[in-house]
Amino acid sequence: MAGEGEVLGEDTRRIVVLVSGRGSNLMALHAAISGHEAGGVACGVRARIAAVVANRECAALVWAREHQIATRLVDESRLSDRADFDVQLGEAVASFAPDLVVMAGFLRIVSASFLQLFDGRILNIHPSLLPAFRGLHTHRKALGAGVLLHGATVHWVSAELDAGPILGQAVVAVGECDDEHALAARVLRMEHRLLPLVVRRVLEQLPPAGVLPSPREAATAQAPCWPPILPRILLVEDALVAHRDARP
């Protein structure tokens, strides 16, 4: 079923992307599913970004409007009551009938009621190798902890912050001279490769009708089991491979 009066092919998977900021992961995903290259990795899945939904005015929303993608702003500054915000966010996303919800730089914790609405259908990308460095300022934390490896994770969203089952990780080496800015930029480049790959892997498993049962329904009916156990994706930065190969 297409939302907002839009008609799509039955086999086209519908993605709603949640954003709060600059939107570079949104752009990488859009480029990949439009058949272009995203960070050197093509993603050939039949899918559409049905809408971009934000909790504040941001560059990602502007970009989406410029690219004729449906947008919805659920303005947190006008909704001081958290429950109200959660209800409106749920309604906004549901109106686009998503097969998959992708949190790409959505800097807000979602409620249990929102999770229930899209049970087993929400992905998040986080800029650290989870379970290390949950929450904000992950690059600063990685530098402070003196780790040699850092990166990004795509995971299913669960009730606990940055803690759902991991679907893929991208690894970068932390250089001796890295500051927060340099490290963030290298991790972000890997995010742009990782997210489309994980989205493709998840979408490839979607039931043909594009209607996902919740895990509870799947357990009771003959509906396809969702979410499935998927082979996880590991990406390693080229510089890290070269560094390893140069060692005796």
Q: Is 26 or 97 the residue whose CB approaches ligand GAR more closely?
A: 26
Q: Which is nearer to ligand GAR, 22 or 141 (CB)?
A: 22
| 4 Ramachandran zone, left/alpha/beta (phi>0; psi -120 to 50) | left
Nearest-approach distance from CB 193 to ligand GAR, in angstroms = 13
Q: Is 22 in the site for ligand GAR (CB under 6 A)?
A: yes
Q: Which of residues 115-174 bind ligand GAR (CB under 6 A)?
A: 125-127, 152
Assess 191 for contact with ligand GAR (CB under 6 A). Answer: yes
Q: Which stretch binds ligand GAR (CB under 6 A): 2-10, 19-27, 79-87, 112-120?
A: 19-27
Q: Which amino acid makes up residue 19?
A: V
Distance CA 57, CA 63 (A): 11
| Gap between the Cα atoms of 133 and 127, Å rounded | 9
Strands 41-42 and 37-38: antiparallel
- Tokens 């549901």 locate to 94
Min dist CB 242 to ligand GAR, Å, is: 24
Residue of minimal Cβ distance to ligand GAR: 105
Catalytic residues, by residue number, are 126
Distance CA 112, CA 89 (A): 12
Residue 2 beta carbon to ligand GAR: minimum distance, rounded to whole angstroms = 26
Query: Which among 8, 20, 16 is positioned nearest to 117, based on CA atoms?
Result: 16
- Distance, CA of 102 to CA of 96 (rounded, Å): 13
Q: Does 188 bind ligand GAR (CB under 6 A)?
A: yes
Question: 33-72: which residues touch ligand GAR (CB under 6 A)?
Answer: 60
Residues that bind ligand GAR (CB under 6 A): 21-25, 60, 104-105, 125-127, 152, 188, 191
